[in-house]
Amino acid sequence: MRILGIESSCDETAAAVVEDGHRLLSNVVNSQIDIHAVYGGVVPEVAARSHIEVINPVINQALTEANLTWDDIDAIAVTYAPGLIGSLLVGTLAARTLATLKNKPLYPIHHVEAHVYANFITDQSNSVNLTLPSKQPTFPMLALIVSGGHSQLVLFKDHGDFELLGQTQDDAVGEAFDKVAKILGLPYPGGPSIANAALEGDPYAYQLPKAKMQGAYDFSFSGLKTAVLRAVQREVGVDTTFPSRELAALLSDTQKVNFAASFQRVAIETLVDKAEAAFKDHSPASVVIAGGVAANQELRRQLSERLPLSIEYAPMSLCTDNAAMIGTLGYYYAQKKQPTAPVDVEVVPSLSMTKTVWA
């Protein structure tokens, strides 16, 4: 079964073709990072307009790169939740229209759940050139989902059968990376900038606190971000009323890389502490990481140090937003669920992954 996946929930317009939930035939991602970098973050209206401009060419390119025509496509899967409303509308409208015109079954997919399915892609055609895991994860599977909008630990018993173990009580970890990067004057998006700067820095240069949480698997990152802000203010000798956007100019390059490394170490330790606790309590057969922050090398290093099993990682390009993960989850969803009538596919901008949504 070949599924065309479509993704437009934030600032990436993406389309991909996936065969039988594991073989990637094409993977097209049009990133708007350059457009939003000017503003230091995603501007929702600008994102939606940009999706409209490129969605059709991106979908056509996904078919061309897969060397397929519409006759070869069995179904369409599209992100319907969660995300920016204007952005989601562009992808779902394109999918609804194409499903109707081309007479294809349509499956609505949850973006956060789909991030986990990047780990199920184990094969590819010649037009895709990625380093993929050698085999699919097995159930029960512990998933650490870490992105710009989400930080959660989810236990999957099977496809579509999962339980939320814990989540952030405030900021998502990617959001904390982005905010700390702003304080340090590092370019958007902050995650890769901090990770790069941290390579040059001393991760023990500054003492930053780890939040104590009530829930055994819950996270918090807002206090850590504020602790970085206060430490920077102390370091440059200004009080808390000093405008935070002017702090970076007072930091030396050495101070910046040391702050980046110290923040990254504590943020990643926070994630790994909880992942380790969940692993001990639930003895999963496999562990996967998913979402944009899964691209972080320090997270991969600490996890392999602390968990007693070897983890196979999805390639970086499948960790950040893409449509391959949508087409992949679409396949498993289609095994158990009926398609949704195109007119009934509605967007849900905020829908967290708290319980099984299908099974």
Q: Which residues bind ligand KG4 (CB under 6 A)?
A: 10, 147-149, 174, 177-178, 189-192, 195, 291-293, 295-296, 320-321
- Cβ distance to ligand KG4 smaller for residue 7 or 65: 7
Residue 293's binding partner out of ligand KG4, Zn ion, none, with CB under 5 to 8 Å set by partner kind: ligand KG4
- Cβ distance to Zn ion smaller for residue 105 or 148: 148
Question: Please, what is the minimum distance in Å from the beta carbon of residue 330 to ligand KG4?
Answer: 18
d(CA 114, CA 117): 5
- Cβ distance to ligand KG4 smaller for residue 32 or 233: 32
> What are the residue ranges of helices labelled H in the chain?
33-37, 44-65, 85-102, 111-116, 173-184, 190-198, 222-236, 253-282, 297-306, 316-319, 324-336
Question: Please, what is the minimum distance in Å from the beta carbon of residue 126 to ligand KG4?
Answer: 26
d(CA 191, CA 149): 13
Question: In Å, how far are 12, 210, 318 from 97, measured between CA atoms?
Answer: 20, 48, 26
Question: Please, what is the minimum distance in Å from the beta carbon of residue 106 to ligand KG4?
Answer: 22
- Of the ranges 141-149, 196-204, 306-314, 328-336, which one interacts with Zn ion (CB under 5 A)? 141-149
- Cβ distance to Zn ion smaller for residue 50 or 147: 147
Decide if residue 151 touches Zn ion (CB under 5 A).
Answer: no
- Of the ranges 57-65, 135-143, 171-179, 316-324, which one interacts with Zn ion (CB under 5 A)? 316-324
Size of the site for Zn ion (CB under 5 A): 2
The CA-to-CA distance between both ends of the chain, in Å, stands at 19
Decide if residue 113 touches Zn ion (CB under 5 A).
Answer: no
Question: Please, what is the minimum distance in Å from the beta carbon of residue 177 to ligand KG4?
Answer: 5
d(CA 141, CA 113): 13
Binder among 119, 321, 322, 345 for Zn ion (CB under 5 A):
321
d(CA 107, CA 121): 19
Residue 200 parent element (H or E): none
- Cβ distance to ligand KG4 smaller for residue 9 or 255: 9
99 pairs with which residues across the strands?
none
Residue 11's binding partner out of ligand KG4, Zn ion, none, with CB under 5 to 8 Å set by partner kind: none
Decide if residue 147 touches Zn ion (CB under 5 A).
Answer: yes
Decide if residue 7 touches Zn ion (CB under 5 A).
Answer: no
74: alpha, beta or left, given left = phi > 0 and alpha = psi -120 to 50?
alpha
Q: What type of residue is 268?
A: I
295 neighbors 314 (Cβ within 8 angstroms): no
Question: Please, what is the minimum distance in Å from the beta carbon of residue 192 to ligand KG4?
Answer: 5
Question: Please, what is the minimum distance in Å from the beta carbon of residue 295 to ligand KG4?
Answer: 4
Question: Please, what is the minimum distance in Å from the beta carbon of residue 99 to Zn ion?
Answer: 23
Residue 174's binding partner out of Zn ion, ligand KG4, none, with CB under 5 to 8 Å set by partner kind: ligand KG4
Q: What letter does residue 284 receive in the DSSP assignment? A: -
Count how many residues are written for the chain.
359
- Cβ distance to ligand KG4 smaller for residue 106 or 295: 295
- Cβ distance to ligand KG4 smaller for residue 133 or 190: 190
Which strands form 23-31's sheet, in the order they lie side by side? 106-110, 75-81, 2-7, 12-19, 23-31, 123-124
Q: What is the DSSP string of 78-93?
A: EEEESS-HHHHHHHHH
Residue 15's binding partner out of Zn ion, ligand KG4, none, with CB under 5 to 8 Å set by partner kind: none
Question: Please, what is the minimum distance in Å from the beta carbon of residue 14 to Zn ion?
Answer: 10
Of the candidates 13, 18, 11, the one whose C-alpha atom is nearest the C-alpha of residue 95 is: 13
Binding site for Zn ion (CB under 5 A): 147, 321
